[in-house]
Amino acid sequence: MKKIRYILLCLVYCGVVSIFSSCSEEAQPSITLGEVMIQLSGLDEDLSDMNVQLRNITTNSVFIERTNQQGVATFRVTPGIYEAAVSASRNSEGITYIYNGTSGQVVVQKGQQATTTIQMRCATTSQVVIKELYCGGCMSDNGVDKFQYDKCVILYNNSSEPASLSNLCFGIAAPANAQANNNNYTADGHLTYEGEGFIPVWNGIWYFPETLTIAPYSQVVINIHGAINNTLTYSQSIDYGNSEYYCMFDPESGYNNSSYYPTPSEWIPTNHYLKAVEVGVANAWPFSVSSPALVVFQTKDVTPAEYAQNVNNYWYDGGGSNSVKRCVKVPNEWIVDAIEVYSKDYQSSCVKRLTADVDAGYVFMTNYKGHSIYRNVDQEATEGLVENKDLLVYNYVLGVDDSTDPSGIDAEASRQRGAHIIYQDTNNATNDFHERQLCSLRK
């Protein structure tokens, strides 16, 4: 009996040790750890008590520490390559200010201290947001072939007032894939255009030829590739035959590859066709199927075509003057919304293309599964609308693995019941989006 009791005590002890060692890397011998000190800067106000996230880009493990009175967060972690990010909000005289910041890659070595500074930048929110992005494609009905010519983005008026947007455009940051070799970084791990006040969008832009008006709490669907009823051939895809939809279709621009741009569905009015300006070399807008960085913007005091055709606004991915690498500089103050997507299959290889004042985070996506990237609900704001009484649907179950909407509100089911949804917008895709099992356009 004593022997049995001894064995049980040992098992309990080992279990307790296992539990505590998995909760914190502090439990490991200090000689195996390295120290990271993250210093926040760029704000005149108090920098204390801000949550800083540190992510191991190989294991995707995330650690969180709060800053001290000096605005410093200290981590003790295993050796590896890490990235740090911070988001915070401050209220002043009824106005909420959002601040974001990101580091470059931080190398942590055993028994050594690494330090880096994060420049905090003020982020702005918009009346119109990206509600959903579907770009990863799906499998064919035979379960073998892959299909990707059915992409779309859904914009949403996140307010109670009508939204009218003139000169509204779409661009994609370079390189097309987050996991691709990115030559736009300095030796200390920062984007070369960070602090320059612009985001370079690659290869070309698409724009609405007329002012777009979106009713309160309403959405607009814009097809990117394949504005037809794709479900006739691929049942897991999307039918874009809808008179309210818009599509990117302008063969005269040079984007004329019929695989990407078949003649749009007869249901889509021709005045719902977007126009394009190609500045690079391609027969289709090279929108990534795995990890795009989408930028929505409005040109000011100049038409989209005039701006994109002005050589003074050109910038080259990785430097040089190769037309294949040509981009258009989009001033940050023109940006309505943006989203950084990382490939779930290449997590450790993905790096940021959008600066912290545009999107301080990223959201992972699995392609060829029919999944979409969907914005999370602002639970407090949505529940605070008196007209939503008894209309909200809870117990949301369409997230993917551990990526889901923390509010628990099923936005699409609630909207079908007449609820008005207010989506979260912190200019940080890590906090604002999740991977959804299927695009909301699927019925």
CB 200 within 8 A of CB 327: yes
Asked if the model's pLDDT at residue 333 lies above 80, the reply is yes
pTM for the whole thing?
0.84
For residue 7, name the pLDDT band (cuts at 50, 70, 90): very low
- Asked if 395 contacts 408 with a C-beta cutoff of 8 angstroms, the reply is yes
pLDDT on residue 4 = 38
pLDDT cut 70: percent of the chain above it: 91
pLDDT for the residue 76: 95
For 89, the 3-state DSSP assignment is strand
H/E element, 354: none
Confidence at residue 42, expressed as pLDDT on a 0 to 100 scale: 84
pLDDT of amino acid 23 = 36
Q: What is the mean pLDDT of the chain?
A: 91
- Confidence at residue 427, expressed as pLDDT on a 0 to 100 scale: 93
Question: Six-digit token pair at 90?
Answer: 């401050």
The domain locations on the chain are 34-125, 127-376+423-436
Answer with the residue of higher pLDDT: 4 or 196: 196
pLDDT at 126: 86
- State how far the Cα of 369 lies from the Cα of 436, in Å rounded to an integer: 10
Q: Given a cut of 70, is residue 106 above it in pLDDT? A: yes
Amino acid symbol at 253:
S
Q: Stretch 53-70: mean pLDDT, rounded? A: 92
Q: Is the pLDDT reported for residue 31 higher than 70?
A: no
* pLDDT value, residue 216: 97
pLDDT, tens only, 346-383: 999 999 999 999 999 999 999 999 999 999 999 999 99
Confidence of residue 60 (pLDDT cuts 50, 70, 90): confident
176-198 pLDDT, tens digit per residue, is 999 999 999 998 889 999 989 99
The residues, ordered by sequence, that sit 6+ positions from 27 with a Cβ below 8 Å of its Cβ are: 20, 21
**pLDDT (average), residues 166-182:** 98
Alpha helices in 212-370 (DSSP H): 304-309
The top-level CATH class assigned to 34-125 is mainly beta
Backbone φ and ψ of 431, nearest 5°: -85, -30
How do residues 14-24 score in pLDDT, each as one tens digit?
A: 343 333 333 34
Per-residue confidence band for 147, with pLDDT thresholds at 50, 70 and 90? very high
**φ and ψ at 15, to 5 degrees?**
-65, -45
pLDDT at 6: 37
Q: What are phi and psi of 151, to 5 degrees?
A: -80, 155
Average pLDDT value for residue range 84-99: 72
How far is it, in rounded angstroms, from Cα 67 to Cα 48?
5
| Highest averaged pLDDT of the listed ranges 18-22, 69-73, 241-245 | 241-245
Q: Is the pLDDT of residue 264 over 60?
A: yes
Residue with tokens 């930028």: 295
**247 or 96, which is more confident?**
247
Does residue 57 or residue 193 have the better pLDDT? 193
